[in-house]
Structure 1
Amino acid sequence: MSLGSQIGPEFRAFDFAHDGRTYEVFRGGLGPAVLVLHEIPGLHPGVIDFARRLVDAGYTVYLPSLFGRPATPANGREILRSIVQVCVAREFTKLADRTSPIVGWLRALAASADRECGSRGVGVVGMCFTGGFALATALEPSVVASVVSQPVMPAPIGKRGRAALGLDPEDLSTIRGRANNGLHVLGLRFTNDRGCPPERFETLRATLGTSFEGIEIDSSPGNAAGLAPSAHAVLTVSLVDEPGHPTRVALDRVLAFLAEQLRH
């Protein structure tokens, strides 16, 4: 059985190369293009389920496999394996004021997806380790909608790290300019998530102004929704797929946000 069939019959696998880097990508669906950037440990079943929702909603979904093993459950062993992999990979810069080299490859994929899907603009959804990449990929002009879900990189160490977005100053200036000219960004986090501190969203608000919409879900001890204080992955592992639950409300907002930006 191929990896593509393990992920699901609605996806086909292909290799995408740019600037000396090649990664496997899974594509499925029809409609405007949306890149879904997986969290650690990789393209686990929760990420794939989220991608299927987008396919069902009428989007062409691109799932690049940046690290980890596709379709493998998000267990402790796989998480450790992926953490080791990304820690030694040169593609992923961990500095507060540096844009990761992988962003060039993601921008090229976004531009290719836009051409393939009729040049209607591209949406990007990033999660956890790749959360900030969803914003950085908007350096590509075809990206008009970014969903930044619980971005944990750069590491939130110290005052500077907690507020940082992981972009070169020049790239940050470009993103600010794009926000003044049609780019929209939606951010998701749990209030008690130490990996994605509130200072990071404060920076997004200060940088992007009204182009940024932040959703912060109460995960404080004793919260009304019964969420664990350790809740982290808004759209996957921590999702409670019940109408009215705050994580489901956040998911529904993501779907509405993409529709607003890509179906105008």
Structure 2
Amino acid sequence: MRQRSLDDPLDDFAARSITLDGETRTVYVSGEGPAVIIMAEMPGISPDVARFSRWVRDAGFAVYLPSLFGRDGAYPSADEGRAVVKRACVSAEFRAFGGNVSSPVTRWLRSLAGLAHAERGGPGVGALGMCFTGNFALTMMLESSVLAPVLCQPSLPLDDQGALEISAPELAAVRERLDREDLVVRAYRFDTDRFCTAQRFAAYKESLGERFEARVLPGTAANPAPPPFFEKFVDSPHSVVTAHLIDADGEPTVQARDEILEFFTDKLTEEDQPSRANR
């Protein structure tokens, strides 16, 4: 297992420069099969985020991992990670504070989902966000190709645990689509998380009803020795499938990871699926 002091070269991913809607971003792509968009938590595409992406890839999916902030592949120092968070909080691309509004970057991410579906085929695309990007997977449901949204510890807006980071019209459109197409939204958090609390999940449940499937893990199941940024600035169990995952058989975080992989498999593959386009 990779030591938590070492950066990840991401050399088993193809670093693609993708321009959509007039904006160009680096997207790390690896694997074959239906596409899954994985959006990193703060402070960026860490080795733990890359590890989870490889698990998704090895389960039979093409992973699209966009670079949204931070140093790609790095375990930053605690202070470097804090600086990344501060820059993102004042960036025009994100809405870290104040509910009932979506981050502008989600428009680009929806276009990425459409591109990934065109490239990989299959029934549709999966989308998983974490922490700062957690709710982005919900907003991406406005793109018709997204069939399997997973929200891991969605933490925005930072200033109101009872609010959601999506506009009311968009939320209504997502709920209508979930009902019409018989889809669900999966979400994960630790029960002692200070950044994604029970109040946040209650707001999702009120808005999405039975279409919102919550999974809450005990805080005692979190890895007690996360990387430096989390150890210093995230003073509670938080990152279910990355920094606070314990990679050992029988651990609740590993069980959550496996459940997510099964969710993608169930929603994005078909037994008699024809050859997928443009592999």
Give the TM-score, by structure 2 length.
Answer: 0.86
| Separation in 2, partners of 1:92, 1:226 | 28
- Contact 1:144–1:182, Cα closer than 8 Å, also in 2: no
Identity, in percent, stands at 39
State the alpha-carbon separation in 2 of the partners of residues 234 and 199 from structure 1. Answer: 18
Q: In structure 1, what is the Cα distance between the partners aligned to 2:168 and 2:258? A: 33
Deviation at 1:201, TM superposition (A): 1.0
User: Aligned runs of 1:100-111 on 2, under 5 Å?
Assistant: 100-111=103-114
Q: How many residues align?
A: 251
- Runs of 5+ consecutive residues of structure 2 not aligned to the other structure: 1-7, 225-234, 271-279
Give the aligned partner of residue 71 of structure 1.
73
Q: Deviations over 1:58-91 (max 9, x none)?
A: 1000000001110111430331121122022101
- Any idea what the Cα deviations from partners look like across 1:176-199, whole Å, max 9, x if unmatched? 111102332110001111100111
What are the superposed Cα offsets for residues 233-255 of structure 1, whole Å, 9 maximum, x if unpaired? 10011001112211111111111
Are 1:121 and 2:124 matched, yes or no? yes
Where does the alignment leave 5 or more consecutive residues of structure 1 unmatched? Answer: none
Letter of the 2:20 partner, please give it.
H
1:44 aligns with 2:42: no
Residues 116/206 of structure 1: CA separation in 2 closer, same or farther (3 Å cut): same
SS at match of 1:106: helix
Secondary structure of the corresponding residue to residue 128 of structure 2: strand
Residue 245 of structure 1 aligns with an amino acid whose one-letter code is E
- Superposed counterparts of 1:1-264, under 5 Å: 6-9=9-12, 11-94=13-96, 95-155=98-158, 157=159, 161-180=160-179, 181-219=181-219, 223=220, 225=221, 230-264=236-270
- 1: CA distance, partners of 2:222 / 2:105: 37
CA contact (8 A) 1:103 1:133 kept: yes
Amino acid at match of 1:214: A
Runs of 4+ that moved beyond 3 A: 225-229
Name the CA distance, whole Å, in 2 between partners of 1:226 and 1:117: 35
Give secondary structure in 2 for the equivalent of 1:7: coil
The Cα of 1:119 is off from its aligned counterpart by 4.5
Contact 1:68 1:81 in 2 (8 A): no
Residue identity opposite 1:118 in structure 2: G
Change (3 A) 1:100 1:226: closer
Residues 22-71 of structure 1: CA distance to partner in whole angstroms, max 9, x if unpaired? Answer: 21101110001000000011011000000011111110000000011101
Residues of 1 paired with 2:49 and 2:109: CA distance?
18
Q: Is the 8 A contact 2:133 2:154 kept in 1?
A: yes
RMSD, matched Cα:
1.6
Q: What is the TM-score when the length of structure 1 is the normalising length?
A: 0.90
> For the residues of structure 2 that align with 1:227 and 1:217, how far apart are their CA atoms?
12
Ranked by relative contact order (alpha carbons within 8 Å, sequence separation 6 or more), the top structure is 2
Shift of 1:204: 1.7
In structure 2, distance between residues paired with 1:226 and 1:179 = 31
Matched residue type, 1:51: S
Tell me the secondary structure at the aligned position of residue 163 of structure 1.
coil
Opposite residue 58 of structure 2, the aligned amino acid is D
